[in-house]
Chain A
Amino acid sequence: MNRVASIASNTFREAVRDRVLYNLIGFALLMVAASLLVGQISIGIERNVVINLGLTAVSLFGLVIAVFIGIGLVSKEIDKKTLYTILSRPVRRWEFILGKFGGLVATLVVNTFFMAIGIFAAVFYLARHFQHADAYLLVALYFIILQFVLITALALLFSAFSSPLLSAVFAFALFIIGTFAQDLRGFAALVHGVPGWIAIAAAYVVPNFAALNVISTVAHDQPVAGSLVLYNTLYALLYSAAAVAAAMLIFEHRNLK
Chain B
Amino acid sequence: MPAIETFALEKTYTVGFWRKRPRCALRPLNLAVEEGEVFGYLGPNGAGKTTTLKLLMGLVYPTAGSAKILGLPVNDPKVKAQIGFLPEQPYFYDYLTARELLQYYAQLSGVDARDRSRRVAAVLERVGLSDVGGVQLRKFSKGMLQRVGIAQAILHDPKLVFLDEPMSGLDPIGRREVRDLMESLKHEGKTIFFSTHILSDAEALCDRVAILHKGELRSIGVIADLTSSVRGKVEVTWQGNVIPPGIRALNAECHQTGEMARAIVAEDQLDSAIDALRRANLKLVSVTPVRATLEDYFVEKLSPAEVAAR
Nearest residue (CB) in A for B156 is A89
Q: How many chain B residues touch A (Cβ–Cβ < 8 Å)?
A: 36
Q: A3-B108, A85-B90, A92-B77 are in contact. List 15 more A-B contacts (CB 8 A).
A: A6-B104, A14-B95, A17-B95, A84-B54, A84-B57, A85-B86, A87-B57, A87-B59, A88-B57, A90-B80, A90-B81, A90-B109, A253-B61, A255-B13, A256-B54
Q: Given A88-B80, A255-B61 in contact, is the A14-B93 Cβ separation under 8 Å?
A: yes
How far, in angstroms, from A107 to B253 measured CA to CA in the complex? 68
The reply to whether A256 and B95 contact each other, CB–CB distance below 8 Å, is no
B87 at the interface (CB under 8 A from A): yes
CB B181 to nearest CB in A, in angstroms, measures: 17
The reply to whether B91 and A90 contact each other, CB–CB distance below 8 Å, is no
B39 at the interface (CB under 8 A from A): no
Some 9 contacts from A to B, beta carbons below 8 A apart, are A3-B108, A10-B104, A14-B93, A81-B89, A82-B92, A82-B93, A87-B58, A89-B80, A256-B59
The reply to whether A90 and B110 contact each other, CB–CB distance below 8 Å, is yes
**Which residues of chain A have C-beta atoms less than 8 A from B90's C-beta?**
81, 85
**Residue from the set A85, A91, A255, A257 with the largest chain B CB neighbour count within 10 Å:** A85
**Residue from the set A3, A82, A253, A255 with the largest chain B CB neighbour count within 10 Å:** A255
Chain A residues 65 to 91 lying within 8 A of chain B, measured CB to CB, are 80-91
Q: Given A3-B108, A18-B95, A81-B87 in contact, is the A257-B60 Cβ separation under 8 Å?
A: yes
Q: Give 1 or 0 for each of B101-129: 1 = CB within 8 Å of chain A CB.
A: 00011011110000000000000000000
Nearest residue (CB) in A for B79 is A90
Choose among B78, B80, B85, B104 the residue that contacts A84 (Cβ–Cβ < 8 A).
B85
How far, in angstroms, from A2 to B113 measured CA to CA in the complex? 11
CB A42 to nearest CB in B, in angstroms, measures: 42
A192 at the interface (CB under 8 A from B): no
How far, in angstroms, from A13 to B137 measured CA to CA in the complex? 14
Q: How many chain A residues touch B (Cβ–Cβ < 8 Å)?
A: 26
B217 at the interface (CB under 8 A from A): no
How far, in angstroms, from A88 to B152 measured CA to CA in the complex? 11
Q: Which 6 residue pairs are nearest across A and B when measured between Cβ atoms?
A: A88-B85, A17-B95, A90-B77, A90-B80, A255-B60, A6-B107
Residues of chain A having any CB pair with chain B under 8 Å: 2-3, 6-7, 10, 13-14, 17-18, 80-92, 253, 255-257
**Residue from the set A3, A84, A86, A92 with the largest chain B CB neighbour count within 10 Å:** A84
B96 at the interface (CB under 8 A from A): yes
**Which residues of chain A have C-beta atoms less than 8 A from B96's C-beta?**
10, 13
CB B47 to nearest CB in A, in angstroms, measures: 16
CB B139 to nearest CB in A, in angstroms, measures: 14
B83 at the interface (CB under 8 A from A): yes
Nearest residue (CB) in A for B107 is A6
CB A51 to nearest CB in B, in angstroms, measures: 35
Nearest residue (CB) in B for A86 is B108
Nearest residue (CB) in A for B136 is A17
CB B135 to nearest CB in A, in angstroms, measures: 14
**Which residues of chain A have C-beta atoms less than 8 A from B93's C-beta?**
10, 14, 82
CB B148 to nearest CB in A, in angstroms, measures: 10
How far, in angstroms, from A257 to B93 measured CA to CA in the complex? 20
**Which residues of chain A have C-beta atoms less than 8 A from B100's C-beta?**
13
**Which residues of chain B have C-beta atoms less than 8 A from A255's C-beta?**
13, 59-61
**Which residues of chain A have C-beta atoms less than 8 A from B77's C-beta?**
90, 92
The reply to whether A88 and B107 contact each other, CB–CB distance below 8 Å, is no
**Which residues of chain B have C-beta atoms less than 8 A from A80's C-beta?**
91-92
CB A15 to nearest CB in B, in angstroms, measures: 9
**Which residues of chain A have C-beta atoms less than 8 A from B13's C-beta?**
255, 257
The reply to whether B83 and A3 contact each other, CB–CB distance below 8 Å, is no
Q: Given A6-B104, A14-B93, A256-B59 in contact, is the A84-B87 Cβ separation under 8 Å?
A: yes
CB B274 to nearest CB in A, in angstroms, measures: 57
**Which residues of chain A have C-beta atoms less than 8 A from B108's C-beta?**
3, 6-7, 86, 89-91
Choose among B81, B105, B110 the residue that contacts A85 (Cβ–Cβ < 8 A).
B105
Choose among A7, A13, A85, A91 the residue that contacts B87 (Cβ–Cβ < 8 A).
A85
How far, in angstroms, from A127 to B93 measured CA to CA in the complex? 46
